[in-house]
Structure 1
């Protein structure tokens, strides 16, 4: 390459160069994953806005618990994905620091301008200590952990939709399903099962990265050569899983009649009745005891009138007084209605329509803010690339 070419490696080492290249590649993967989460949040908010008053069953321990709404349910995942966006952006901030100029690990006697090279490469600054700059891969561990957490959020959403599909309250689009090679009646939620499976890969990679790093002395060790490639792969897989989950939600059909019928199963309005009694002046523990006793007699097919009569009977047994001593029979029957029960829960973040409207507005504002932040990062990288091309053009 001649004398001039031979000077190109001056003040450089594979150690700082490779560390720089890893960060340069990873930051793009992190931005792409974060952008996918914003797209998924937009899909969740859009569907939620269409189902602000669509009643559905809410579960704990996979057992009927309390009625809620489709909007309230979907916004719970929007909140989780919003935090995933934050984690990815935080990881980006720490990954987007330049190690270039650290050389092997002890710096260089040449008069290099590390800040200028960082600026031209689009980094937000430098990893200042040269030994730290050349040897650390904590940004890989942090990124892998953020991706694993995102994948776990997606896995929960996928599992829910798979169960809802099995129960017949949600029908997935054909575009996100497949049939069986032998059973022609089958409609399988394959894409969501694959989304769920990605979480295992991502968690394994986060654990593997930390395990690889845990015993390394300062400064550089060849083990580090194995630390990055699989993080890149997982970043792509998690981004694709995010897009798949978003598409499945956006195109699913929520059976409002089936959801409403399921919302009252298992005496799911029991807590609402107990709350009503407590609001009427009864100690909550007494109200809890009454409704728990009534739960043994109330059946899914009972009319509000029949269920209220059973609660009244339990109240007489526990307290010696009728329900009317605390609340009206009409209010009890209303509390037994799943839609009324959900609408009554108007505390901040609850399923009542007015609370959901506030949540939707907050979610939309958060999406806009994160979208703008991501666009700003992309613009900064583009501007740096143009500046680098112009600088190189002065010499070539």
Structure 2
């Protein structure tokens, strides 16, 4: 390296020596070229979800035409569930905090609506039935797709969770104050579609977290937080007539509880992954999530599991998601990375397609992982959507308007 000499010539000489020194270090050029290739690979090898066309514009995998079916602002959607005959929709009414229960046709036309006077709610759906209750209250309402409100029942405690079968049977977890101050007792009870109590159990030193039952009503499952010398979570599975079937300790924080529609399996999901139990209590499979497990849902008659896990880009640390489908609980059929955070997932009852909603896009996958169509969306983050038949999409916007998207 040359020493510095004042003046133009010295400056020129120093610059020349610097160029010679840089030329003597080819590894710097190799590193520079590698960085350029790495950055370019983001655009060359990105997945099909990249630059988004606007709603209604043709995308790389299909076009969507947007039609506003209902311009009324019903309130922020909190539930959208597709069934064979249409769609359940529940909105938080902005004026007073109560909730509006609606049933829509497969085209998005409102069939009926009713107001449930609860500010904070817990809900469950199964086919033509929807159950809704006020969190910490005692009243429970059961709705039918065609017959509106079919029953209302009062439980002897403060409701913490509800689930409904395909026959309208209601499973409820609630807490009851004990004689001793600052202590609670958890109860789980099942009621017929007419509101008659079928059975009831006490779960001592447990706080209810999750509750679910099978579509045929044969299997009921609850996940509770166990309080004692060692705090943990416990799965309790109960038969149709109230007979205990099995229990299992759950490590990690439970976030998801699924029961197969025929009661053949029970799935518990935590942030780290999932465990699948047969109805006799045997653990038949498990899966470690590739990220924080956010969404878990059954797809199809055979009990395939669709999941979404939060992840981050190694390039810019932006939030991303990994979606995929498991068969048998641990056999990964397909998996794909989405360069956005998944907000929600919904599965169609008939076609078994899966709709994935993000803050920018709506993507519909087939059960085999093929993209049926994808399009950008301008509804923001507070929207929900379903795909009733796999060929069109019904969207509940952030204000509760109903928009239909259909492929060209």
| TM-score, scaled to structure 2 | 0.19
Larger radius of gyration: 1
Which has a greater percent of strand? Answer: 2
Could you say which structure has the greater relative contact order, defined with CA pairs below 8 angstroms and 6 or more residues apart? Answer: 1
Which has a greater percent of helix? Answer: 1
| TM-score, scaled to structure 1 | 0.19
